[in-house]
């Protein structure tokens, strides 16, 4: 296996376990979310060190709106604080911030902070950090299909011209390589509506560690595990 193939181009992380981390300490759930910021910094640093070009972080699902209002509000405030405080440092590190998901449901304040972070970091060429916010894969696919249907209805796209690239190009991740590795912390082994299309040939890694305890060393372990995997893509194994 070439060295090239052993470094994932794109790592996607389902940052799970903040609530349990807080509960174990007799703390409020939002304190677990706040403790989940440092692992984001650590993951970005580790990704750059390994030469991973794209890092996607699942931060808020479309389903998460159903949580108690106090928790949702605390998360929204945390997004704003996080974007305000972290952007300058990310800019210095050459990190480009992008989002996937439907941002239109967020308050104008949250949307403005996100737009500003994207603008300020647009020149980043070390790592593209994709934040999945109000994201669900089914919602993303439905929105993509609507865009494609619009082009068909307008007569600019023939149905028989629709291929995998048409759909991939209409998703929020257009232009981003598919994730090679999907990590979900906290021991849960499910995708929870994350990158269903894009992760069709990804490797999966489910460490027990709760997200607030995730460190650069944990990221390194994930890279080591990935390097041991034999990716065959339906073919026969390399000799």
Window contacting Mg ion (CB under 5 A); options: 9-17, 28-36, 121-129, 146-154: 9-17
Q: How far apart are CA 32 and CA 212, in angstroms?
A: 7
By CB under 6 A, tell whether 61 contacts ligand IPE. yes
From Mg ion, ligand IPE, none, interface partner of 61 (C-beta below 5 to 8 A by class): ligand IPE
Task: Give least dist CB 88 to ligand IPE, A.
Answer: 24
Q: Helix axis angle, 37-50 relative to 216-228, nearest 10°? A: 50
**Across the strands, what pairs with 181?**
11, 203
Does residue 193 carry a catalytic annotation? no
Binding ligand IPE (rule: CB under 6 A), the pick from 30, 60, 214, 226 is 60
Which residues in the 171-190 window bind ligand IPE by CB under 6 A? 186, 188, 190
- Considering the rule CB under 6 A, would residue 19 count as an interface residue with ligand IPE? yes
Non-local (6+) Cβ contacts of 135 within 8 A are: 58, 60, 61, 62, 100, 101, 102, 172, 194
Nearer to ligand IPE, 31 or 180 (CB): 31
**Which partner from the list Mg ion, ligand IPE, none does 106 bind, CB cut-off 5 to 8 Å by kind?**
none
Candidates 15, 114, 129, 171: give the one binding ligand IPE (CB under 6 A): 15
Contact flag: residue 38 with ligand IPE (CB under 6 A): no
Q: List the catalytic residue out of 16, 18, 134, 180.
A: 16
Reference 63, options 72, 52, 51, 50; nearest CA is 72
- What is the spatial distance between Cα 84 and Cα 110, in angstroms, rounded to a whole number? 10
In terms of Cβ atoms closer than 10 Å to its own Cβ (0-12, 13-18, 19+), residue 160 is: exposed
Q: Which two tokens stand for residue 27?
A: 């703390």
Alpha carbon distance 101, 57 (integer Å): 12
64 catalytic per annotation = yes
Q: Which does 129 bind (CB under 5 to 8 A by kind): Mg ion, ligand IPE, none?
A: none
Nearer to ligand IPE, 121 or 186 (CB): 186
Residue list 72-101, contact with ligand IPE (CB under 6 A): 75
Those residues with Cβ within 8 angstroms of residue 17's Cβ, 6 or more apart along the chain or in another chain: 32, 185, 186, 187, 188, 209, 210, 211, 212
Distance CA 25, CA 158 (A): 58
Residue 59 touches which of Mg ion, ligand IPE, none (Cβ within 5-8 Å per kind): ligand IPE
Task: Give yes or no for residue 16 binding Mg ion (CB under 5 A).
Answer: yes
Residues of the shown chain interacting with Mg ion in the complex, contacts defined by CB under 5 A = 16
Catalytic (active-site) positions: 16, 64
Residues of the shown chain interacting with ligand IPE in the complex, contacts defined by CB under 6 A = 14-20, 58-61, 64, 75, 186, 188, 190, 192
């Amino acid at each position: 296996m070439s060295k090239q193939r052993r470094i994932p181009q794109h790592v996607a992380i389902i940052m799970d376990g903040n609530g349990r981390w807080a509960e174990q300490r007799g703390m409020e759930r939002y304190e677990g979310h706040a403790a989940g910021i440092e692992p984001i910094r650590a993951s970005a640093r580790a990704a750059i060190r390994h030469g991973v070009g794209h890092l996607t972080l699942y931060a808020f699902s479309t389903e998460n709106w159903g949580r108690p209002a106090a928790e949702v509000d605390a998360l929204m405030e945390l997004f704003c604080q996080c974007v305000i405080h972290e952007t300058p440092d990310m800019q210095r590190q050459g990190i480009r911030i992008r989002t996937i998901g439907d941002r239109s449901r967020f308050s104008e304040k949250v949307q403005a902070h996100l737009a500003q972070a994207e603008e300020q970091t647009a020149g980043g060429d070390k790592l593209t950090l994709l934040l999945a916010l109000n994201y669900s894969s089914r919602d993303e696919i439905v929105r993509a299909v609507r865009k494609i249907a619009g082009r068909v209805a307008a007569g600019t796209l023939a149905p028989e011209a629709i291929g995998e690239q048409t759909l991939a190009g209409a998703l929020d991740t257009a232009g981003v390589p598919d994730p090679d590795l999907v990590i979900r912390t906290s021991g849960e082994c499910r995708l929870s509506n994350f990158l269903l299309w894009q992760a069709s040939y990804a490797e999966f890694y489910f460490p027990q560690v709760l997200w607030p305890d995730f460190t650069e060393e944990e990221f390194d372990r994930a890279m080591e595990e990935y390097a041991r995997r034999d990716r065959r893509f339906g073919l026969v194994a390399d000799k």
